[in-house]
Amino acid sequence: MTQLPTHTEKKLGLVIDLDTCVGCHACVVSCKGWNTENYGAPLSDQDPYGADPTGTFLNRVHSYEVQPDQGVAQLIHFPKSCLHCDDAPCVTVCPTGASYKRVEDGIVLVNESDCIGCGLCAWACPYGAREMDADQGVMKKCTLCVDRIYNENLPEEDRQPACVRTCPSNARHFGDLADSESDVSKLVAERGGIDLMPEQGTKPVNKYLPPRPKDTWDQIDILAPLLDPVAEEPKGFLGWLDKTLEKL
Amino acid sequence: MLQKQPVLETSPHVSNEVRQTTCYMCACRCGINVHLKDGKVAYIEGNRDHPVNRGVLCAKGSAGIMQVNAPSRLRAPLKRVGPRGSGEFEEITWDEALGIATDWLAPIREAAPEKLAFFTGRDQSQSFTSFWAQGFGTPNYAAHGGFCSVNMAAAGIYTMGGAFWEFGQPDWERTKLFMLFGVAEDHDSNPIKMGLGRLKERGAKVIGVNPIRTGYNAIADEWLGITPGTDGLLILALIHELLKAGKIDLDYLAHRTNAPVLLDDDGLFQRDGEGRPLVRDRTTGETVPFDAQKIIPDLRGADTVFTKLIERYLDPQYAPDAVAKRCGIPAQKIKLIAAELARVAFDEAIEIDQPWTDFRGHSYDKMIGRPVSFHSMRGISAHANGFQTCRALHVLQIILGSVEVPGGFRFKPPYPKPATAHPKPHCRVTPGQPLDGPHLGFVHGPEDLCLNDDGTPARIDKAFTWENPMSAHGLMHMVISNAHAGDPYQIDTLFLYMANMSWNSSMNSAGVMDMLTDTDENGDYVIPHIIYSDAYSSEMVAYADLILPDTTYLERHDCISLLDRPICEADAVADAIRWPVIEPDRNVRGFQSVLVDLGARLKLPGFVNEDGSAKYKDYADYMTHHIRRPGIGPLAGWREGGDSRGDANPNQIDRYIENGGFWMEHIPDEALYYKPWNKAYQDWAVAKGFYDSVQPYIFQLYVEPMRKFQRAADGHGTRQPPDHLRDQIRQKMDPLPIWYDVNEEDQQGSDEFSIHALTQRPMAMYHSWGTQNAWLRQIHGRNPMYIPTKLWEANGFNTGDWARVTSPHGSITVPVAHMAALNDHTIWTWNAIGKRKGAWALDKDAPEATQGFLLNHIIHELLPPKGDGLRWSNSDPITGQAAWFDLKVKIEKVDAPAEAQPEFPPQKSPVGQGPDKLTWKVGK
Amino acid sequence: MHPAPSIILFTVLSGLGFGLLFWLGLGFPPVTGFSAFAFFTIAYLLAIGGLISSTFHLGNPQRALKAFTQWQTSWLSREAWLSVFALTFMGLYAIGAVFFATRIAPLGWIGSALALATVYATSMIYGQLKTVPRWNHPTTPALFLLLSVSGGALLAGQVTYAIGLLALSGVLQAVVWYLGDQRFAERGTTMETATGLGNIGQVTAFEPPHTGTNYLLKEMVHVVGRKHSRKLRIISLALMVVLPVLLLLLPFSHALAAVAVLSHLAGVLASRWLFFAEAEHVVGLYYGIR
Ligand SMILES: Nc1nc2c(c(=O)[nH]1)N[C@H]1C(S)=C(S)[C@@H](COP(=O)(O)OP(=O)(O)OC[C@H]3O[C@@H](n4cnc5c(=O)[nH]c(N)nc54)[C@H](O)[C@@H]3O)O[C@H]1N2
Ligand SMILES: Nc1nc2c(c(=O)[nH]1)N[C@H]1C(S)=C(S)[C@@H](COP(=O)(O)OP(=O)(O)OC[C@H]3O[C@@H](n4cnc5c(=O)[nH]c(N)nc54)[C@H](O)[C@@H]3O)O[C@H]1N2
Ligand code: SF4
Ligand code: SF4
Ligand code: SF4
Ligand code: SF4
Ligand code: SF4
Ligand SMILES: [Mo]
């Protein structure tokens, strides 16, 4: 099974809007909550009240500063979870077959009962999308909430990943990226969605929508007619007022 | 060869039961679905039907499960056995605890009720706690608003009859240009994020005005990295440009504001015999009351407010070129913003086909919208010039005609409600009797101040005195300091609820710890008794003599009432409850229920029946049966005989639970906008019980009560300020917004202390509460001081370095980190990450205690001494708002100490320490 | 990468063990009987000891057998199979040599080939990883193999071969370091490609997603100071190659040979420590650490 399917019927994945993400970590914690209670072993925490707390998370939000050649620096919040790559190196390195990519929807999963916890898949992933659970010794990764998106115990509208459902600013979108007519595919087309580390050849399914151009007003010329003075001082202004009110 | 994929259970059971209640991981009050498995909390998600969050949930909300299970939860009432501050306690029974409290409080009430100071933090039951305090008879009650954002609230209410805060919101669906001043997170956490998301979806533009570019400001299309404390100047420059270009909504100014109101020679309104302000009718030229039917008020004339306003703001001192340097924003950029505001407001105006009628009887067939909107919070309000800055912002909104119109800023019921329709403050004490009225309110002149007959302050926090006349929310940050100094008088019992006053919610935390433990010549504590209610083992717990342990938010009844801070939306009126979705597993009680019990033991009016028996069993009983005014109780939904007005319904709470924990009713279409002037809205508001008769009003560009204080300072009237405050009142209480430099005059912003130091709220942490949360503390377990590039290079900092940060008051030694998207003269850190050793059931070597730090140690509640022997509070001279963000410092690189400085000895944990591993999964 | 002792031991010891087996399989030295028993025991102890040590790195060693299933794609799985094959063939060959004083040469050749293949598979576990540019190069298996056969020659007492091979591995090691130092930059994975934000400007990490550490940082982000690394490289080369060669050039004595072996072992351990510690995983870019 560590062979990759040559073709998946769907390519389910996330589209993350870097123009909209405010870096609130809501998706991080809802993911932690859902996946602690659901799929596989709980996401454990070591030394949770101590000097060096660590734990397993499947989704983390970085932040970067970007300094353009001209003008002020920008700050970009950057959520990152498994990108469910088409050419997933994490799958092919797995010696046990625990890691696999689903034929029907392309979700990359770890079958925990087969995982020996060798860590090789995490080494093979360029994105840091896999974390070994220190308590159970099995590899953890984003499941694309496979236990939500088809879950008949959930109302239809809730059959989406926990992180998407919770994102307050609607910066996360879920759908089938194989279907060019899907909302996510259209978003990617419209906003020029990109791959992370394309040179790694992983062909990620998840896409990132780049931030829109910022601080562009520094470049435009003043919208002159809009601010043509009607008067420079109070007297003149009151004269203008007289005239204007007559017209009203 | 592909092997067979494992068979997956894609439809696992999510829970056995979902209980819907209201989140309280912060004060935003989102609706939550609590999934339970065998009675244990398995997963928390947002409630899709809830008006506040419509299904989304923030990081804190989702982490509620770790709060409800936190090892820091208090387990039983505690009596102090060691010295204050040590954290040594013994567990006692509730009977004993309530007995002690009654023994302390009953004699005070009989002799001198003001000797009780009862102050609460961000609790959501202020209409209840104030009712209790009023019954007790002490004037010394307030919640945290005074140190939080009273400038925002008071400026909004005095100007427009409603504020940003959580009492209003941009018309997210329609606005095309949104300008955000000084907000990192706000109380309206999820709604702001949802709103920004809506704007981004439509590609609408966002302008962020903030010295720091994180969070909301990071996604702003245009960022103005303003120098702290200068927003007022920037806003007045925008007003200047718009006036100069005639890009103002004259029609709106004439009909909706007091711009046409006539002033007399004293700068007071000309009024008719019934006290109604006068305007000139443009059609007849006659002088008529402002609300006369069918008139068209005239803006012109030497005596109108409008003329005064023009004269003030056309002055070249407000030209962009004159303010640019000070604000740290190029003049060209200021002009561009003004132009863009004008373009969107007037060239992209929107119209809704919705007829409506105003209070003067004019009917309109359309609603005209100016789709520019604004929001702001503590970044402009937590400065000593914050009230005037917030006022300036409202004036800007108003001249653009963008308040309560489509695409602009909208109020949430029960707002708008003019300052005059709010109560005035009350402070008349009669031993053994209730106070003469509600504690807090809005003054309209010197006659409303809370002064004793001899002119001394009636309140321990000196609210509503000449030092800060319009202190509508009290001054919680001055209570301990004043009580310790015995200024204006000594108290006996300090009763605090849900406020970490020995740590992150005080200025000068180390000083506060000293004040709380200081003894008199007899060896008795200067503040004799301290009672505190907390749910967790916070820093403050160690300083109390008696602890009344509260439940967590999933274990109790709460009432988010229209009588204080409800959950309404601009389109709908709504309120909500919390209810025990799980039972406490400890010997703790909901604090409100404890107050109900104490009220009965103390026989407070409203808490006992005529025969002296307890009136309410517990808080749930109070929520259901308390009647505030005829037909009005704490909850508006499902009252007997109809919603919002009617008799108590014994099954009311059940109805709330069935409905997901909230009640909501939509505002009729014709009442959706123009609420202050819209007849349909006014009638609806009366029907709903927000007020008892219609009260249309006009916006107060010119705030007359402020002029009354100025006149008193000029020697008019029977109540006049003491001489040392006359100048301050004269200068600061300008009825038209002004800007003054707080640093130059107040904080000794000499060359030595030339750097602004700020804090911001991290979105994933709520003050000190978040730290006990095993998930959240992994995200923010320590806080560096962020340094802008210029200062970083000038000081030769490198990654991993430390710095000493010094203010006129003291210094801290802390780790630094570089940030480029930051105002050149500003450093900052996350708020309230630093923790005291021993608190929150954490290891004493927790990074929060060894590397995390508070800025509070170098912010003082008093200004540096001016040599006049007086204690000048570090507050806005108008409202008493704590001026957290006026802090100026210097920095220097130092060798890394073993721990962030200052260090404090550990307090003993009354609850032990948390486990060393978590594999939390309640289902099998 | 985190230089985990279990993995360093595994690769070094099993490399040495299979290296020795390689020589024994080819009949260098052509031992039988008790001396064959001694040689094979050493080789097996090293090879199996290394393999066992590698299981300490596993989160769930009790399921280790499952690692045999994915030989079609996984080098780790292939390594498992190859090591079993190598040990089996060599075992049969050893039985012949020890108990029947017969060396069945073809068995030995196959065994030797399998031993080399095992070392190759081990090296490819690392060499295949695009995410670690320093490793992702043909010189990785080349050096693993060369070190394995040099160490094997040393253990097998093949002085002449050993001298030549050691010298060769010294050269290759130097080349590997030299080329490896540049490869991360050559591959072009940067914070800009990692974030896709390069078209706006220069990217730096602001806040990490968490103030504490995590598995990724502990496992994959390990920074060695340049000075420290230079020192270690010199020590490693001296112990691994220079000293053993010098010792071998001296008139032969068992004591000197033993010192040469120990020195080489220490040198290879140091080299392998550097192999891991200096290897930068591209994920570090997300944390602004390179
Ligand atoms: N430097 C700096 N300091 C600041 C600010 C700043 O911007 N910068 N901001 C200021 C502002 S605006 C505010 S509002 C204050 C906030 O400061 P605080 O109001 O002190 O905020 P918290 O730390 O949340 O403390 C509230 C206490 O309530 C307790 N608590 C939590 N839940 C419950 C409950 O259910 N029941 C009971 N009884 N107790 C509970 C917590 O354990 C904690 O001890 O901080 C102020 N301090
Ligand atoms: N997650 C989370 N949410 C919270 C809280 C929390 O602790 N955590 N606390 C709640 C409470 S009690 C409150 S009061 C609210 C407060 O919510 P906010 O008003 O967002 O408060 P702060 O985080 O203090 O942010 C103040 C912002 O003002 C900026 N600022 C400071 N000085 C100036 C200035 O002079 N001009 C301008 N333009 N900007 C300036 C700072 O950079 C910062 O971004 O948040 C509430 N919501
Ligand atoms: S992101 Fe990493 S873990 Fe996910 S499929 Fe791609 S390589 Fe595998
Ligand atoms: S850690 Fe588990 S999933 Fe990953 S490669 Fe090893 S066996 Fe496969
Ligand atoms: S899809 Fe599910 S598992 Fe993946 S990051 Fe989102 S919440 Fe976590
Ligand atoms: S929840 Fe949404 S806005 Fe918040 S960090 Fe995640 S993606 Fe960004
Ligand atoms: S904003 Fe977050 S913490 Fe606050 S009430 Fe809403 S979900 Fe709870
Ligand atoms: Mo606050």
Chain B neighbors of C202, CB-CB under 8 A? none
Per-residue pLDDT reduced to its tens digit, C165-216: 999 999 999 999 999 999 999 999 999 999 999 999 999 999 999 998 999 9
Ligand 4 mean position to A118 CA, how many Å?
Answer: 5
Q: Do B847 and C211 touch (CB under 8 A)?
A: yes
B369 and B306 in a common domain: yes
The residues, ordered by sequence, that sit 6+ positions from C258 with a Cβ below 8 Å of its Cβ are none
Residues B193, B261, single domain; the answer is yes
- Kindly list the residues from chain C whose CB atom is less than 8 angstroms away from the CB atom of residue A89: 129-131
Three-state DSSP class for residue B491: coil
Residue B573's beta-bridge partner residues?
B665
**Burial state string for A208-227 with b = 16 or more CB within 10 A and e = fewer than 16:** bbbbbebbebeeeeeeeebb
Indicate whether B11 belongs to any domain: no
CATH code, B36: 3.30.200
If you count residue pairs, one on A and one on B, with CB atoms under 8 Å apart, how many are there?
Answer: 309
**CATH code for position B368:** 3.40.228.10
C-beta separation of B754 from B890 below 8 A: yes
CA distance B413 to chain A (A): 23
Nearest C-alpha in B relative to A28: B59
Cβ contact (<8 Å) for B197 and A168? yes
Domain boundary among B604, B634, B666: B666
CB within 8 Å of chain A, chain B residues 222-281: 222-223, 225, 241, 243-247, 250-251
Pocket of ligand 4 contains residue A129 by CB under 6 Å: no
Q: Are residues B773 and B851 in the same domain?
A: yes
Q: Provide the pLDDT confidence category of residue C225 given band limits of 50, 70 and 90.
A: confident
Residues B538 and B565 in one domain: no
Give, for ligand 5, the residue of A32, A35, A147 to mutate: max count of ligand atoms closer than 8 Å to Cβ: A35
Cβ-in-10-Å burial (0-12, 13-18, 19+) of B284 comes to exposed
* Partners of B400 in the β-ladder: none
pLDDT averaged over 10-residue windows placed end to end, chain B, 924 residues:
78 95 96 96 98 97 97 98 97 98 98 98 92 98 92 97 90 98 96 98 97 98 97 98 96 98 98 97 96 97 97 97 96 94 96 97 97 97 97 98 98 94 96 97 98 96 98 96 97 98 96 97 97 98 98 97 90 97 97 98 97 97 96 95 91 98 96 97 93 92 98 97 97 98 67 93 96 97 98 97 96 98 98 97 97 97 88 95 96 97 96 96 89
Q: How many domains does chain B have?
A: 4
Between the CA of residue B526 and those of B481, B515, B519, B530, what are the distances in Å? Answer: 11, 8, 5, 11
Does residue B382 sit in the same domain as residue B294? yes
Instruction: For residue range B498-533, list pLDDT tens digits in order.
Output: 999 999 999 999 999 999 999 999 999 999 999 999
Q: Is C211–B779 a contact, with Cβ atoms under 8 angstroms apart?
A: yes
Q: Which two tokens stand for residue B756?
A: 């602004």
Asked if C225 is an interface residue toward chain B (Cβ–Cβ < 8 A), one would say no
Is the CB of C212 less than 8 angstroms away from the CB of B819? no
CB B405 within 8 A of CB B369: yes
DSSP states along A162-230: HHHHH-TT--EEEEETT-TTSHHHHHHHHHT-B-SSGGG----SSEEEPPPP-SGGGTSPP-GGGG--S
In B662-727, at which residue ranges do the beta strands (DSSP E only) sit?
662-666
Distance B120 CA to ligand 1 centre (A): 10
Tens of pLDDT, residues B769-778: 999 999 999 9
- For residue B396, being part of any structural domain is answered with yes
CA closest to B912 among chain A residues: A49
- The residue contributing the CA closest to ligand 5 atom 3 is A142
Using CB atoms within 10 Å of the CB of residue B519, give its burial: 0 to 12 exposed, 13 to 18 middle, 19+ buried: exposed
Residue A212 distance to chain C (closest CA, Å): 10
Domain boundary among B605, B640, B666: B666
ipTM field: 0.96
- Best probe of the C interface among A66, A113, A141, by most C CBs < 10 A, is A66
Token representation of residue A211 = 């931030």
**Are B277 and B392 in a shared domain?**
yes
Tell me, in angstroms, the distance from the centre of ligand 1 to residue B247's CA. Answer: 43
pLDDT for B166 equals: 75
Range of the domain at B648: 18-57+555-666
Same-domain status, B297 and B186: yes
Q: Do B646 and B614 share a structural domain?
A: yes
- B759 shares a domain with B654: no
Query: Would B73 be classed as within a structural domain?
Result: no
Interface contact C178, partner B, CB < 8 A: no
Instruction: Confirm or reject contact between C60 and chain B (CB < 8 A).
Output: no
- Shortest CB distance from A131 goes to which of C128, C215, C286? C215
Pairing of strands A130-132, A139-141: antiparallel
Cα angle for residues A36, C194, A145 (degrees, 5° grid)? 25
Here the CATH number for the domain that contains residue B483 is 3.40.50.740
Dump pLDDT digits (tens) for B671-703: 999 999 999 999 999 999 898 899 899 999 999
Question: Is residue A192 less than 8 Å (CB to CB) from chain B?
Answer: no
Interatomic CA distance for residues B858 and B855, integer angstroms:
6
pLDDT of residue A217: 81
Q: Domain A12-209 falls in which CATH fold?
A: Alpha-Beta Plaits (3.30.70)
Residue B684 near residue B712 (C-beta atoms within 8 A): no
DSSP string, B891-912: EEEEPPPSS-BS--PPPPPTT-
- Nearest CB partner across the interface for C57, out of A57, A118, A124: A118
Could you tell me if B168 and B229 lie in one domain? yes
Strand B31-37, strand A130-132: pairing: unpaired
Task: With beta carbons under 8 A apart, name residues in chain B contacting C211.
Answer: 778-782, 847
Q: Is B883 within a domain?
A: yes
The structural domains of chain A, with segments of one domain joined by +, span: 12-209
Asked whether residue B265 is domain-assigned, the answer is yes
- Under an 8 A CB cutoff, do A48 and B774 touch? yes
Domains identified in chain C and CATH numbers: 5-58+66-194+214-286 (1.20.1630.10)
CB-CB neighbours of B214 under 10 Å: 26
From the CA of B758, how far away is ligand 2's center (Å)?
10
- In this structure, the answer to whether residues B810 and B887 fall within a common structural domain is yes
Mutation test of ligand 2: which of B378, B388, B769, B785 has the most ligand atoms closer than 8 Å to its C-beta?
A: B378
* Domain identity same for B586 and B662: yes
